[in-house]
Chains A and B, each alone.
Chain A
Amino acid sequence: MSQSNNISQKVIEKIKTGKIKMKPKATFVFQAIALVFLAGLAMVLAIFGTSFIGFALKVKGYSPFLMAIILVVVLFVVLTWGLTKRFPAFYKKPLLLGLAIILISVAMVSLAVFLTPFHQRIMEYSQARNIPLISPLYQCGCSHSSCSRICGQPKILDVNPQSSCGCFRDSQVGESCGGR
């Protein structure tokens, strides 16, 4: 018996001992769904971040806080790129082309989102309520040095000079909007 036959026998023997088991089909289906979901989520977050940058620039102008958001967007684009490389439609193409497809898609969808009142609505909604992550994001990224009227209630912006982050609070009697 050749060495090669021994391998065949060893493999079958190991399988028959029950140490090696077939993974159920559901595992592969779950992996495929998880991959699509994660790639989609990373892309959605990249689009959200990119359109947020545009909105924050429009509302407040440049702030150092936006640099952090830009870095996060870059991370999400790279993550999307890394995950989509596992799909045949992407690994069959040069990596640069795959990256270009992702960048163009993110840019176009972000522009579409930017042109809608999406971020304005979220900002108004998040300032009226204290939503973890979202409220601080809009406060730090979009607060300008004047008061903001949210849900009909005038709000005064307190700016922390150290962090440059703003916090909305209800206006008091005698305080005027635009005074800050």
Chain B
Amino acid sequence: MEGFSEKTDEQLAEVTQQGNVEAFGFLVERYQDKIQRYVKRIIQGQEEYRDISQNVFLKAFENIKGFDTKQRFSPWVYRIAHNETVNYLKKKKSLPLFDFDVFLPHYNIGKEDIENEAEKKLFLPKIEELLEELSFKQKEVILLYYFQELSYQEVAEVLKIPIATVGVRIKRAKEAIKEIASARGGSASGGKNI
């Protein structure tokens, strides 16, 4: 695995495309914790998260030649993780068949909020406590944006939805978190906008 540590994810993916399994192993090691955390939070801590995460990487390997190395690797692998969790949840319980919020255009919500990094870090654990209370769609955007640190555009790529819809879902998730926090008698935002 010498020299792999200096390579970017996209360079490792390119080497993998040429048949180098060790390069893929390096990619798996880079992403396994992030993917496992994401899957575990989405499926609410059920034991299958390890199997699902494993499937994510096996699918990624199978389809690696379909990855465009000029694009970023992380949204691509999260897209696979999203599909796997959706498939799992569809088997377990019903998910909404149609997303009404992707149907209509939304204005002035697509731009990312400029958030203070320190503020983000301060409130992340509080959001985490309330994640289970959120709907599947709200939880997904919060996880990808706040916890996996993808941009609005990358979240939109992962979920294959308009960027403005990402903004709408994050806004609604924040409102839901505030409501839940105030119902519990605390404040998730500490009085500030989370």
Q: What is A's interface to B at a CB cutoff of 8 Å?
A: 3-5, 7-8, 10-12, 14-16, 20-25, 27-28, 85, 88, 91-97
Nearest residue (CB) in A for B57 is: A11
In the complex the two chains form, is A15's CB within 8 Å of B105's CB?
no
In the complex the two chains form, is B102's CB within 8 Å of A15's CB?
no
Given contacts A20-B62, A23-B62, A91 and B160 within 8 Å (CB-CB): yes
* B57 partner residues in chain A, CB cutoff 8 A: 7, 11
Question: What is the interface of chain B mostly: helix, strand, loop, or mixed?
Answer: helix
* A95 partner residues in chain B, CB cutoff 8 A: 102-103
In the complex the two chains form, is B163's CB within 8 Å of A92's CB?
yes
Given A85, A92, A96, which contacts B156 in the complex, CB threshold below 8 Å? A92
In the complex the two chains form, is A8's CB within 8 Å of B28's CB?
yes
* A5 partner residues in chain B, CB cutoff 8 A: 29
* B163 partner residues in chain A, CB cutoff 8 A: 92
Given contacts A23-B66, A91-B160, A96 and B61 within 8 Å (CB-CB): no
In the complex the two chains form, is B160's CB within 8 Å of A22's CB?
no
* A91 partner residues in chain B, CB cutoff 8 A: 160-162
In the complex the two chains form, is A3's CB within 8 Å of B106's CB?
no
* B21 partner residues in chain A, CB cutoff 8 A: 12, 15-16
Complex Cα spacing A91 to B21, Å: 33
In the complex the two chains form, is A11's CB within 8 Å of B28's CB?
yes
Question: What is the interface of chain A mostly: helix, strand, loop, or mixed?
Answer: helix
State how many angstroms separate the Cβ of A18 from the closest Cβ of chain B.
Answer: 11
State how many angstroms separate the Cβ of A17 from the closest Cβ of chain B.
Answer: 11
With an 8 A cutoff between CB atoms, is B24 at the interface? yes
For the complex, count residues of B whose C-beta is within 8 A of A.
Answer: 34
Given contacts A8-B28, A11-B28, A15-B24, A25 and B106 within 8 Å (CB-CB): no
With an 8 A cutoff between CB atoms, is B187 at the interface? no
With an 8 A cutoff between CB atoms, is B50 at the interface? yes
Given contacts A7-B57, A22-B64, A96 and B50 within 8 Å (CB-CB): no
Given A8, A25, A94, A96, which contacts B29 in the complex, CB threshold below 8 Å? A8
In the complex the two chains form, is A92's CB within 8 Å of B162's CB?
yes
Complex Cα spacing A16 to B25, Å: 11
* A24 partner residues in chain B, CB cutoff 8 A: 65
Complex Cα spacing A23 to B33, Å: 26
* B89 partner residues in chain A, CB cutoff 8 A: none
Nearest residue (CB) in A for B105 is: A94
Complex Cα spacing A91 to B162, Å: 6
User: Could you jot down 10 A-B contacts, CB within 8 Å?
Assistant: A7-B53, A8-B32, A11-B58, A15-B21, A22-B65, A24-B65, A25-B66, A94-B102, A94-B162, A94-B164
In the complex, per-residue mask of B152-168: 1 if CB is within 8 Å of any chain A CB, else 0: 00001100111111000
With an 8 A cutoff between CB atoms, is B36 at the interface? yes
With an 8 A cutoff between CB atoms, is B114 at the interface? no
* A23 partner residues in chain B, CB cutoff 8 A: 62-63, 65-66
Complex Cα spacing A93 to B105, Å: 8
State how many angstroms separate the Cβ of B167 from the closest Cβ of chain A.
Answer: 12
